A and B are shown apart, each in its own frame.
Chain A
């Protein structure tokens, strides 16, 4: 440490930072800035840890190909083809799993101690979570693009308007975004990235499979069928399937309200998740400290 570099601090530390928190406009400006800085942190992570991106793109491609070619020949969907039927299911499953990164990442941040750094800074208490969930949103958006492209190649077609298809994509991403907040909250409560990964696998696999994602729910044995019809993932899949125009013609309409109004159900679900878990997660963040 040289005299010169010390002198450099003398000069710079003499400059006081201009805290721009005097008025509401500045506070809102800071909030956006904090959210952007923490989002950028997560973008850099995606760039530096390419496994995430590789996994996020390869896994959905693999799912699309596996389901289309392995089951496509066997599972007969009257009046449609299996590829068109399962795409909405694969979309939903992938984005739901994509939201779990927020859980393991928050747990990892606590473990690494970086949360303690953030919590001693004069930043908005929601910023770290906003950055984190934005990271998931981006990963899921990339996954969606990859899956849709792969789907087109293997014969999936959108049989609705552009606007409806865009609404389907938005609904899938928004649901996953809300779910990221749930996972972020769980991640800060459980505090172990390994546990988060294992438990989300254990919970989410049955949740996505015992649904209408990969087979029509009326083909399931009764207990599973009842579960599938009330499963929120089913509503999401049904909503996406309707909006993409991929519901097989003449398929029976289940006699429950959620399945009959899937888009509305999902919108209500998203709103409820956000209303509950955004404040819960922010409050949790303001209390946690590593070790």
Chain B
């Protein structure tokens, strides 16, 4: 059942001394009750603007939005009691302590004094902030500030939770903690709309993903649907001698189901394949026959990174790939470890943190 529904949202900013910016350009979004929807998109895609419209912070120029059947634009005062919000930048009072911040939010949700204090204490312990609860936020680290802000979104049990990059700046342990909290809340019936730059997060949490670019939704579906939409499995090979690349390229083209793409100075080549094991066997046999030496070869399912990069065109563009087998920089960053991971790698820049996450998962379970 539809819980959040946005139709044709548009918002144009006209910053001084610059041309108009179409932050939202006809965005449609549907979030079913009790599910998690993740908004993915490159910087400036319009994710924060979408969240701000739905949380009554800004009015769109055009379009409609409803939450639980209530018109967000006409009745912001009826929306606010049912939402919990944590924006992209922590919205906390620097001069209040962690506890005072949460207590203030509780009182402004019109919880009674006692209930508000009790809830603040619970959230402090839920977010592991005991040692910081009586210090002014001014002295908090970025991640602690962030956690106070996230706790602020949970002061009442909101029907719907808006989280704009909730785990950016959190250490791996806190990030896992946040994921647990979100999962628990969803289990209790809360609807969640979150934005994230961590594709692993979307993969783990989201029932549905909407990819946004230039203020529009350009693709949506479950993580698996999105992955399937950009082709099945892929075969990746890593050459010892870049001089073999043109021949290897032809072989991959013959056995694969798409135009191969390359990176790492032409030593790393990738091709989609309908039946990857068979394709890989044939390719390896052909390489053996021609004495092409390999560092590495393997099969990989597409990751959300691939989906993201492909859909938002922030990898090498199609033309680049056709003209130049070297591929783009972004492509290179995203695929350092061919054949090792099955669909859960994060972008190159974040892989350190996300690897650490995985260790934590292992340790915890």
Contact = CB atoms under 8 A, between A and B. Distances in A.
B85 A120 contact: yes
Contacts of A18: 110-112
Contacts of B338: none
B56 A120 contact: yes
A261 interface: no
A17 B89 CA distance: 26
A116 B91 contact: yes
Contact of A112 (B57, B94, B180): B94
B240 interface: no
Among B80, B90, B91, B125, the one with the most A-chain Cβ atoms within 10 Å of its Cβ is B91
A8 B96 contact: no
Interface centre among B110, B123, B156, B180 (most CB of A within 10 A): B110
Contacts of A15: 115, 157
Contacts of B177: 1
Interface string B69-106: 00000000100110101010111111110001000110
B105 A117 contact: yes
Contacts of A289: 52, 57-58
B126 A6 contact: yes
B169 interface: no
A17 B184 CA distance: 19
Contact of B95 (A10, A20, A34, A45): A45
Contacts of A1: 126-128, 174, 176-177, 180-181
A258 to B, nearest CB: 39
A10 B184 contact: yes
The size class of the interface chain A forms with chain B is 35 or more
A30 interface: yes
B45 interface: no
Contact of B57 (A5, A12, A20, A119): A119
Given A10-B188, A37-B104, A17 B109 contact: yes
Contacts, number: 125
Contact of A113 (B83, B90, B111): B90
A41 interface: yes
A256 interface: no
Given A1-B181, A112-B91, A120 B108 contact: no
B67 to A, nearest CB: 12
Contacts of A45: 93, 95
Contacts of A121: 80, 105, 108-109
Nearest to B55: A120
A30 B112 CA distance: 11
Contact of A5 (B52, B92, B125, B174): B125
B118 interface: yes
A122 B110 contact: yes
A14 interface: yes
B119 A12 contact: yes
A5 B122 contact: yes
- By CB atoms of chain A within 10 A, which of B90, B91, B108, B112 has the most? B108
Given A17-B109, A17-B115, A115-B91, 9 more contacts: A9-B123, A18-B110, A33-B110, A37-B104, A114-B92, A116-B91, A117-B92, A119-B56, A122-B77
Interface of B: 52, 55-59, 77, 80-81, 83, 85, 87, 89-96, 100, 104-105, 107-112, 115, 118-119, 122-123, 125-128, 136, 149, 152, 154, 156-157, 174, 176-177, 180-181, 184-185, 188
14 contacts: A6-B180, A8-B122, A9-B184, A12-B122, A13-B185, A17-B110, A33-B110, A112-B94, A115-B91, A117-B85, A119-B57, A121-B109, A122-B81, A122-B108
Interface of A: 1, 5-6, 8-10, 12-21, 30, 33-34, 37, 40-41, 44-45, 48-49, 112-123, 127, 287, 289-291
